[in-house]
Amino acid sequence: ERGGNNSFTHEALTLKYKLDNQFELVFVVGFQKILTLTYVDKLIDDVHKEFRDKYRNEFQQKGTLGLLNGTFDFKDDFMRLLRDAEESSKVRAPTVMKTFEQSLKSQKTVKCMIETRGEKPKEKVKNKKNKGSKKEGTEAVAAPGKASAGDKQSPATGDREELTKDEILQKNREEFFKRHMKAGEKSRSPKPEAQKEKGKKPRVWDLGNSNAKVLDYSNSATNGSAEACPVEEFDPDTALGDRNREPGRLYDLEYESDDEAEEEKVIQNPSKPSAKKGGLGGMFGMLKGLVGSKSLTREDMDPVLEKMKDHLIAKNVAAEIAVQLCESVAKKLEGKVMGTFTTVTSTVKQALQEALVQILQPQRRVDVLRDVMDAQRHRRPYVVTFCGVNGVGKSTNLAKISFWLIENGFSVLIAACDTFRAGAVEQLRTHTRRLNALHPPESHGGRTMVQLYEKGYGKDAAGIAMEAISYARNQGFDVVLVDTAGRMQDNAPLMTALAKLIAVNAPDLVLFVGEALVGNEAVDQLVKFNKALADHSMAQTPRLIDGIVLTKFDTIDDKVGAAISMTYITSKPIVFVGTGQTYCDLRSLNAKAVVAALMKA
């Protein structure tokens, strides 16, 4: 009962019990689990009360032995209580709804239901005055009817005192309406009709289309046909951004680092206060941080490492990973002999930078274009599966990668395997139309470069992916990009479905899409995604995440710690970085630029 549960289920039976601590009694009622008995709680309470009151004296005199040796004739009482409980549950019949004739609305006429602007305050005032005293009712109701334009401002002072504040406010409002709206009484009735005729005009967006026929895509569900995705007119600058870029090139991520002079200034800041004490004191203060041909100890590095750890956490590196990084740097530097004019801070910072660059450059490098050409030689499509949590930008970055592949001369089939989220298929359909508008078949020898394979909503995602891959093989597509539904890492059924999709279709590349805004959550997401893929895979060597797509990189300024957290956990490379909303906002990771942003003060 401490946990709030007083029932126990065993096979087809349910037991409910109640404790009596005074006489150390347990009352148990058993019934079939399939029955929904509403009177069980009442029955057990009544039996407890009846039994305790009937044998109270016997319990008090004989104690526990009386319970063990006594005989209790309680069958008749129990049957009576059971009948009462059953009858009480039958008495509570469901309430019957009133018929329309019984309701107050049936007594009203259509005329009295029509309210005009001037009459509404009057009715409220009358209702309030009827609830008050008789004196107020007789005098106050007559006052509005008799009031004229001349004597509105001269009511009886006695009436004014007897009225409440709310009634005075209502009266003043009524006078205001009469005074300012008397002239427009004749033109008041046609106003609602004019408003109805006018109606609400639909909003026309800048990049949209007001024609309903153009906006209706409900019938365009035919897979593999160019007519299913009609070309629409729009400004290419809004989709491409930079028009001066080199087509098909994946640019490196850039970051403008500070000047070396500013970095030196940051390092020398801690020694400035000691320089103010005097000439010799300032000189010794400058030399205090210099190690001078002695080996580094843990005590020397601890203050610097503590500051570095806090700095990394502030830059969105997961706390656990920041601690591990500082520990690895300490073990690497401990006992190392330093140069004469080298500070502990600069030495630790340099070692940490080298460690971070090494983390961001994993051993296995993913070269998508090379792998696609290799799949072409074997006459099969190259399959990429995107997975991740909700709202990280899987569909948007899939469209960016499609655009990049098309500009490199590869045809793409997009498999709409997110059959759960409302609007997911329509979103991919819109991207397909835009990409076909940017790269029309006329520019590629009559070949449609991107198509959408979709089967609607509520279907098995693994089955749709398998059909899409088979369709791409028959139609000669170079790449298949599989979009999956977003799912939280703790949702076991959805993680099992994802593992099934990957195990059944065996994609060439499994990309985890994560946003750069997360901190500690990045570790939890990647660990649990990899664990779920390993646990739910039927193969001896389960397929795990092969690479990472880091999105929303343009929203974080210099807080780039998520890149470190993700690569440190999985030892997998960051293949693509999303940096904006246009199709050209896709970059490859530049490890040195990320580390420069991370180490910025």
pLDDT, residue 2, reads 47
In 332-478 the beta strands, taken as DSSP E runs, fall at: 382-387, 412-417, 450-453
The pLDDT value recorded for residue 380 is: 93
pLDDT at 477 over 70: yes
Structure tokens at 384: 């990429």
Q: Assign 406 a pLDDT band (cuts: 50, 70, 90).
A: very high
Q: Does pLDDT of 474 surpass 60? A: yes
Query: Is the pLDDT at 96 greater than 50, yes or no?
Result: yes
Helix, strand, coil share of the chain (percent; to 5)? 50, 10, 40
Counting residues of the chain whose pLDDT is more than 90, the rounded percentage is: 22
- Topology (CATH) of 368-592: Rossmann fold (3.40.50)
Query: Considering the chain, what is the average pLDDT of its residues?
Result: 76
- For residues 294 and 599, the model is more confident at 599
Q: Of 39-43, 473-477, 504-508, which range is least confident?
A: 39-43
Main-chain dihedrals φ then ψ at residue 588, nearest 5 degrees: -95, 155
**In which band, very low, low, confident or very high, does the pLDDT at 60 lie, cut at 50, 70 and 90?**
confident
- When mean pLDDT is compared across 156-160, 195-199, 235-239, 326-330, the lowest value belongs to 156-160
Which residue is listed with tokens 């209702």? 127
pLDDT of residue 212: 55
Indicate whether 261 pLDDT > 70: no
Contact 299, 335 (CB under 8 A): no
Residue 335, pLDDT score: 83
pLDDT in tens, 536-570: 777 778 888 999 999 998 888 888 888 898 888 88
Question: Does the pLDDT value for residue 342 go beyond 80?
Answer: no
- The band of 94, judged by pLDDT with boundaries at 50, 70 and 90, is low
What is the average pLDDT across 23-48?
84
User: How do the domains of the chain map onto residue ranges?
Assistant: 7-90, 297-360, 368-592
Q: What are 570-600's pLDDT values in tens digits? A: 888 899 999 888 888 898 888 888 888 888 8
Tell me the Ramachandran region of residue 446: left when phi exceeds 0, alpha when psi lies from -120 to 50, beta otherwise: left
Which pLDDT score is estimated for 512? 93
**Mean of the pLDDT values across residues 457-484?**
93
Question: Where is mean pLDDT largest: 55-64, 147-156, 256-265, 403-412?
Answer: 403-412
Burial, 454: exposed, middle or buried (Cβ in 10 Å; 0-12, 13-18, 19+)?
buried
Nearest one of 527, 500, 491, 534 to 512, comparing CA atoms: 527
- Is the whole-model pTM more than 0.75? no
- Helix/strand/coil (H/E/C) assignment for every residue in 418-451: CCCCCCHHHHHHHHHHHHHHHCCHHHHCCCCCEE
Q: Is the pLDDT of residue 142 over 60?
A: no
Stronger pLDDT, 160 or 104, i.e. the higher one: 104
Q: Examine the pLDDT at 401 and tell me if it is beyond 90.
A: yes
Tell me: the pLDDT tens digits for 413-444?
999 999 888 899 999 999 999 999 999 988 88
Residue 498 has pLDDT above 70, yes or no: yes
d(CA 485, CA 401): 18
What was the pLDDT predicted at 244? 62
- Which of the four pLDDT bands, split at 50, 70 and 90, describes residue 123? very low
CATH, range 7-90: 3.30.450.60
Mean pLDDT, range 98-124, rounded to an integer: 65
Give the mean model confidence (pLDDT) for residues 513-522: 84
pLDDT of residue 334: 85
Q: Would you place residue 65 in the very low, low, confident or very high pLDDT band (cuts 50, 70, 90)?
A: low
pLDDT in tens, 232-241: 555 566 566 6
| Percent above pLDDT 70 for the chain | 69
**Distance from C-alpha of 257 to C-alpha of 238, rounded to nearest angstrom:** 29
Give the pLDDT of residue 257: 53
Predicted local confidence at residue 394, as pLDDT: 92
Residue 144 banded pLDDT, cuts 50, 70, 90: very low
Q: Looking at residue 476, what is its pLDDT?
A: 92
Q: Give Cα separations from 233 to 28, 238, 437, 516 (angstroms).
A: 75, 12, 8, 33
Average pLDDT rounded to a whole number, residues 484-499: 87
Residue 245 pLDDT:
67
Question: 331 φ, ψ to 5°?
Answer: -65, -35
Residue 453 pLDDT > 80: yes
Confidence at residue 430, expressed as pLDDT on a 0 to 100 scale: 93
